[in-house]
Amino acid sequence: MSFDAEKIIEYSNKNPKPASTTFAYGTAGFRTVGDTLGSTVFRCGLLAALRSQSKNGQVIGVMITASHNHERDNGVKLVDPMGEMLQQSWEAYCTDVANAQTSEELVETLSHIAQEERIDLTIKPRVAYARDTRPSGPMLQAALEDGLAALDVEASNFGIVTTPQLHYFVRCLNTQGTAASYGEPTEAGYNAKYGQAFLRLVSGRETPSKLFIDAANGVGAPQVLKLAQAINSPYFDIEVRNSDTQTLGKLNIGCGADHVKSNQRPPAGVSLVPGSRYCSFDGDADRLVYYYGDEHGAFHLLDGDKISTLVATYLRDLVATAGIEDLQVGVVQTAYANGNSTSYIKDTLKLPTVFAKTGVKHLHHEAEKMNIGVYFEANGHGTVLFNPSAVAKLRAVVPETPAQADAVERLWALRDLINESVGDAMSDMLLVETILICKGWTLAQWNEAYTDLPSRLLKVVVNDRTIFKTTNAEQTLTAPHGLQDIVDSLVAKFPRGRSFVRPSGTEDAVRVYAEAATRRDCDQLAYAVAGAVFDKAGGRGERPAE
């Protein structure tokens, strides 16, 4: 059995590759200007079919989104059967397939992959797909549907949903009717699963004040309203801001988690009232940050590091109360983690912590190695994983006291509350809300655990970001030659200084991160490093300046 080459060529000719463009599967799939992605999304449909066949017909997910990026961008990524990111060895296939110059070359590339992976092409492929609210979404969805039709895929269209919801649906579809059943693969099933776990954990406690949610004018806005409707309880009293998904030019502009984290200020449309509680999603609701304003007008950010320490502390304490021996909670971070958060995890919480490269796919794999792995990027993207050994240990506990029984029950309920397939702003928000409600904490009390070192994240646009190569979990540059020495000499000038440079995998830019003991030093260091990048590596546009 082989492909119907003629059919693939016919559909492929409808979705031609732009001749001069090279596509690369980056941090979170392919991302670039949406209008140029038709051929890539079409071809991802073909590859998703092969991936499904290679997994014995399990459902593979395809999500069309560019998450935090500008509205004109779009992207596509594949989701593996348990809702996790595509296995990394297949990313190279994605790149090969996306860059085949002609339709005939495309068929050859697909045949080569089928041979290499020994794929049984008689298996019926199954794919689930969805998109976010971007204007290029319908065109790209049509291209994807061409790819699915070319290989006779049994396809399920989940419409306009958040990225984590699609990951959840894929896992549900592949576990239906098994002991590992993850839930109903519908929006209502998602809302019921997470909503019910939340109510199980908080009922009987004091109700919190209203939570203001900035939805980045993205798909999280309608979805979180549906979640609130399903929960229908004073424990989840929300007001959604930046919920306009209809007007062009609004998605992620001046709002959303990326804007709030990068600029360290509230989003448009939100004036902070002391004592009130706020959080932001990004454009496809896979990132979450919290914040508040104090009575002196100062802005306080509770980012992914703060979420991770809150969650790790809570889990560590529950495990201790449950009296489960050898059940280790660990934390995975990236180089963007604030230095004081890392010290707090190691020195105060006394929990193991490891560093991974940027991209939740890298953190996820590290977290899988831990019993209970808490992983969050500083930008608010992350989740918690309970590995099979943790689940076995939880099952084996025979509680001897009511306190122990309660802690065990809470650990089970937390596992139901957490979207283990991927970082999920809505599920993470319910998790944070649960912990705050159970502790009776305000955001200011949560923030007291440790004080962030001043940090700054800058973007530098250069002629060719592919000349930047890194090592050491992306904290050290190996190219362009000599640039790391300059960064090192700048860092040495500032007490508690730390800085690194890496090419973005989702945007056409190089990222510069810096932290130091004072705000003044941190900003000087960040702009000095960004200036050096601009000068030595072909900066474009305006030279970064304070």
Query: Binding ligand G16 by CB under 6 A: which of 241, 261, 306, 511?
Result: 511
- Interaction between residue 507 and ligand G16 (CB under 6 A): yes
Question: For 111, how many CA atoms within 13 A lie in the half-sphere containing its CB?
Answer: 12
Q: How far apart are CA 14 and CA 42, in angstroms?
A: 10
CB 252 within 8 A of CB 280: no
CA-to-CA distance for 306 and 261, rounded, in angstroms? 12
The reply to whether 67 belongs to the active site is yes
Give the CB-side neighbour count of residue 546, counting CA atoms within 13 A. Answer: 12
The 369-398 site mask, x for binding ligand G16 (CB under 6 A), equals: --------x-x-x-----------------
Q: Are 301 and 259 in contact (CB under 8 A)?
A: no
Contacts of 31 (CB under 8 A, 6+ apart): 66, 69, 73, 74, 75, 505, 506, 507
Residue 455 binds to ligand G16 (criterion: CB under 6 A):
no
Pick between residue 51 and residue 381 the one whose CB is nearest to ligand G16. 381
Q: Any contact of residue 470 with ligand G16 (CB under 6 A)? A: no
* Residue 305 near ligand G16 by CB under 6 A: no
Q: Is there a contact between 408 and 394 (Cβ–Cβ < 8 Å)?
A: yes
Q: According to the binding rule CB under 6 A, does residue 360 interact with ligand G16?
A: yes
Within 184-303, residue ranges assigned H as helices are 187-202, 220-231, 256-263
| Percentage helix, strand, coil for the chain under 3-state DSSP, each rounded to 5 | 45, 20, 40
134: contact with ligand G16 by CB under 6 A: no
Binding mask 214-253 for ligand G16 (x = CB under 6 A): ----------------------------------------
Query: Between the CA of residue 527 and those of 264, 480, 498, what are the distances in Å?
Result: 16, 18, 13
Q: Is 421 annotated as a binding residue?
A: no
Residue from the set 243, 245, 308, 358 that interacts with ligand G16 by CB under 6 A: 358
CA 353 to chain centre: 19
Which of 63/453 has CB closer to ligand G16?
63
Alpha-carbon distance of 419 to 296, in angstroms, equals: 37
Q: Is 502 labelled a binding residue? A: yes
User: 68 by DSSP, 3-state: which?
Assistant: coil
Q: Does 63 participate in binding ligand G16 (rule CB under 6 A)?
A: no
Q: Does the annotation place 353 within a ligand binding site?
A: no
Residue 316 sits in the site that holds ligand G16 (CB under 6 A): no
Q: Rule CB under 6 A: is residue 165 a binding residue for ligand G16?
A: no
Closest separation between CB of residue 94 and ligand G16, Å?
A: 16
| 103 touches ligand G16 (CB under 6 A) | no
- The single residue among 147, 304, 454, 505 that binds ligand G16, judged by CB under 6 A, is 505
Number of residues that bind ligand G16 (CB under 6 A): 18
Per annotation, catalytic residue among 39, 54, 67, 243:
67
Binding characters for ligand G16, 264-283, by CB under 6 A (x = yes): ------------------x-
DSSP assignment, residue 381?
Answer: -
Footprint of ligand G16 (CB under 6 A): 27-28, 67-68, 282, 286-287, 358-360, 377, 379, 381, 504-507, 511
Active site residues: 67
Q: Known binding site for substrate: residues?
A: 377-379, 502-506, 511
